[in-house]
């Protein structure tokens, strides 16, 4: 089933928006990527509509239809009545001409099949055999009941959809032809596949527009009048009821649109709260004019209704009523294959998510699930990851951040652009003789530090790295680093206390100075001694010279 809706992994940004909007939570996250669980999906297309990165795409059937046309087969298109809301100002004749240029033999309105279906609904209600009857036109509603509310299956009309009824009628009139349904709906691709041999291919309006553009074919504006076209109302909320008599006093006629409202009605029904009613159910808000392709590109339910209303006639299409048995559609329960965890297993997963007590279960829905318990079940089933919990991640990040800040030997101070203290750790408090963070939080940094360096970084955007500063007020030397976070407009100051290093350096300098002084004194003393010795040696040498001279002269005289 997920073959009709694909994920472009390169676009998926792990935002969880699709799971928040998926009414049945049929999306699994793995490796930060969303994956559609085909067995659980009801193909409502909400994930396609809401994805902000266009990571979901409907698989195109254009090539399949081109192969049909190239094969020489007679191909007739069934055009959903919501086309008038998608192609403003364009009538069925304009669509028919454009499709013929593409190679189609003809094009008709699916509203013809809607007439057959509404006649069958009226016949069933006239029999009075159903206390409650639910319309079966919307394949997503049918899947919702088959997969999630199987107890309501007896109330679901076993009648084919307008698409199938019309394609059956086309093939009755043209036995050898191929049929292609064109509409705003994703789930019709699956319906055509499940009930094979009736509708041979399904295109969305988006695919048709893409094909026409590629072929340089423009739709010609113009509305063609048709009195016998009341079932053109079918794609609007209450549109089925608008075409029916609704005059049986034993029934209340109700229109419900949007999966959430359908779920609420089905839960009421299973709880025994609904009796004697015919319920028109549509998965899309606004019915088919709010279909996934319509909503993504042409979302305007009120304008869409007005366009359909202006185009619809007042009488029914002239149709040949087929045998009742040919209109029956068998819909069996589709059981989920996902495992169901025990209470202990759910409690263990909740514990891993930091949900120890009941009050810890915030049920904020940020992960996409309606409650922490529902998320825990999804984790057990492999559909979700524990890390998808925003409060859990925030708490974890804050805890890690706090542990780092409060256990680092460095002082850390965070300021906003107004130079107001936003955060301060324990080391900084101790360094600045503060008792509590509240003593300074929100205050100007000038109260505790010279703001000049902060102002310089803020004005120039140039960070300061390992600048040595003396904090005279605290009699401390620090190695200061100030960085400017442009994204969050914060100034982050990290100060390493280097007072001991400075003291040791000062001691070494003093020792060096004293050593140099001592050395100078020793050298001076040694020089003095040398001079004295030299002086003494000089006197002795002179006396010796005189004595020797005298001795020499005396020897000569003799």
- Mean pLDDT within 22-34: 85
Residue 217 has pLDDT above 60, yes or no: yes
Q: What SS3 class is residue 434?
A: coil
pLDDT bracket for residue 69 (50, 70, 90): very high
Of 539 and 462, the one with more pLDDT:
462
Given pLDDT bands bounded at 50, 70 and 90, which one contains residue 558? Answer: low
Q: Domains plus CATH for the chain?
A: 60-327 (no CATH), 338-407 (1.10.15), 409-497 (3.30.450.20)
Report, as an integer, the average pLDDT of 337-360.
87
Average pLDDT over every residue of 155-163: 97
CA-to-CA distance for 429 and 16, rounded, in angstroms? Answer: 40
**Three-class SS of 283-300:** CCCCHHHHCHHHHHHHCC
pLDDT number for residue 515: 81
The three state secondary structure string of 307-318 is HHHHHCCCECCC
Q: Which long-range contacts (CB under 8 A, 24 or more apart) does 90-99 make?
A: 90/219, 90/220, 90/221, 90/222, 91/222, 91/223, 91/224, 91/311, 92/224, 92/226, 93/222, 93/224, 94/219, 94/220, 94/221, 94/222, 95/219, 97/220, 98/212, 98/217, 98/218, 98/219, 98/220
Residue 163 has a pLDDT of: 98
Is residue 2 over pLDDT 60? no
Structure tokens at 554: 């005396």
Q: Per DSSP, what are the bridge partners of residue 484?
A: 491
Six-digit token string for 515: 């050593």
Across 210-219, 330-339, 407-416, least confident range: 330-339
- Which helix (H) or strand (E) segment holds residue 529: the answer is helix 499-557
Main-chain phi, psi angles of 468, to 5 degrees? -85, 125
Could you report the per-residue pLDDT of 175-185, keeping only the tens digit for each?
A: 999 999 999 99
Neighbouring CB atoms inside 10 A of 471's CB total: 18
Segment 36-65 shows an average pLDDT of 90
DSSP 376-418: HHHHHTTS--GGG-HHHHHHHHHHHHHHHHHH-SSEEEEEETT
DSSP 222: B
Give phi and psi for 481, each to the nearest 5. -125, 125
Q: For the segment 291-344, what is each residue's pLDDT rounded down to a tens digit?
A: 998 866 666 778 889 999 999 999 999 999 899 999 999 999 998 888 889 989
Query: Model confidence over 474-527: pLDDT tens digits?
Result: 999 999 999 999 888 999 999 999 999 888 888 888 888 888 888 778 778 887
Q: How confident is the model at residue 30 (pLDDT cuts 50, 70, 90)?
A: confident
Name residues whose C-beta falls within 8 Å of residue 245's C-beta, 6 or more positions apart in sequence.
122
Phi, psi (rounded to 5 degrees) for 327: -95, 0
**Which pLDDT does position 212 carry in this prediction?**
97
pTM for the structure as a whole: 0.74
Query: pLDDT grade, residue 364 (50/70/90)?
Result: confident
Between 368 and 550, residue with greater pLDDT: 368
pLDDT of residue 285: 92
Least confident of 167-176, 326-335, 427-436, 534-543: 534-543
């Amino acid at each position: 089933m997920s073959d009709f809706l694909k994920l472009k992994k390169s676009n998926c940004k792990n935002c969880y928006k699709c799971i928040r909007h998926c009414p049945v939570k049929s999306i699994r996250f793995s490796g930060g990527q969303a994956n559609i669980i085909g067995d659980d999906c009801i193909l409502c297309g909400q994930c396609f509509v809401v994805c902000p990165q266009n990571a979901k795409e409907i698989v195109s059937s254009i090539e399949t239809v081109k192969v049909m046309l190239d094969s020489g087969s007679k191909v007739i298109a069934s055009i959903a009545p919501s086309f008038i809301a998608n192609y403003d100002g364009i009538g069925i004749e304009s669509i028919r001409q454009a499709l013929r240029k593409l190679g189609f033999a003809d094009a008709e309105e699916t509203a013809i099949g809607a007439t057959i279906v509404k006649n069958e609904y009226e016949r069933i209600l006239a029999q009075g055999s159903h206390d409650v009857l639910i319309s079966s036109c919307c394949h997503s509603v049918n899947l919702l009941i088959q997969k999630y509310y199987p107890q309501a299956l007896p109330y679901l009309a076993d009648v084919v959809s307008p698409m199938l009824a019309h394609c059956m009628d086309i093939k009755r009139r043209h036995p050898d032809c191929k049929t292609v349904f064109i509409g705003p709906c994703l789930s019709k691709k699956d319906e055509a596949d499940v009930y094979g041999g009736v509708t041979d291919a399904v295109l969305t309006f988006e695919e048709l527009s893409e094909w026409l553009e590629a072929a340089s074919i423009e739709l010609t504006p113009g509305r063609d009048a048709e009195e016998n076209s009341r079932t053109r109302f079918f794609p609007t909320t209450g549109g089925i009821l608008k075409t029916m008599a609704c005059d049986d006093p034993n029934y209340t006629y109700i229109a419900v649109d949007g999966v959430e409202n359908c779920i609420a009605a089905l839960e009421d029904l299973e709880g025994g709260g609904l009796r004697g009613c015919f319920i028109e159910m549509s998965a899309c808000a606004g019915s088919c004019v709010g279909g996934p392709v319509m909503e993504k590109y042409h979302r305007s339910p009120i304008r869409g209704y007005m366009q359909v209303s202006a185009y619809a006639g007042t009488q029914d299409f002239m149709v040949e009523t087929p045998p009742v048995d040919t209109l029956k559609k068998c819909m069996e329960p589709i059981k989920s294959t996902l495992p169901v965890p025990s209470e202990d297993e759910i409690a263990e997963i909740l514990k891993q998510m930091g949900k120890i007590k009941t009050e810890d279960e915030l049920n904020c829905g940020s992960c996409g699930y309606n409650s922490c318990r529902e998320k825990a079940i999804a984790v057990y089933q492999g559909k979700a990851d524990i890390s998808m919990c925003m409060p859990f991640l925030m708490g974890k990040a804050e805890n890690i951040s706090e542990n780092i800040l409060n256990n680092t030997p460095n002082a850390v101070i965070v300021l906003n652009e107004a130079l107001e203290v936003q955060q301060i750790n324990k080391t900084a408090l101790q360094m600045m003789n503060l008792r509590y963070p509240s003593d300074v939080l929100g205050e100007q940094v000038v109260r505790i530090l010279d703001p000049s360096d902060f102002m310089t970084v803020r004005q120039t955007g140039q960070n300061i790295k390992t600048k040595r500063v003396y904090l005279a007020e605290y009699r401390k030397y620090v190695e200061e680093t100030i960085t400017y976070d442009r994204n969050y407009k914060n100034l982050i100051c990290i100060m390493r206390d280097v007072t001991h290093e400075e003291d040791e350096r000062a001691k070494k300098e003093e020792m060096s100075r004293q050593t140099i002084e001592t050395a100078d004194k020793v050298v001076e003393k040694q020089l003095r001694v040398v001079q004295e010795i030299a002086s003494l040696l000089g006197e002795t040498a002179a006396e010796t010279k005189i004595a020797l001279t005298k001795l020499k002269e005396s020897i000569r005289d003799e």
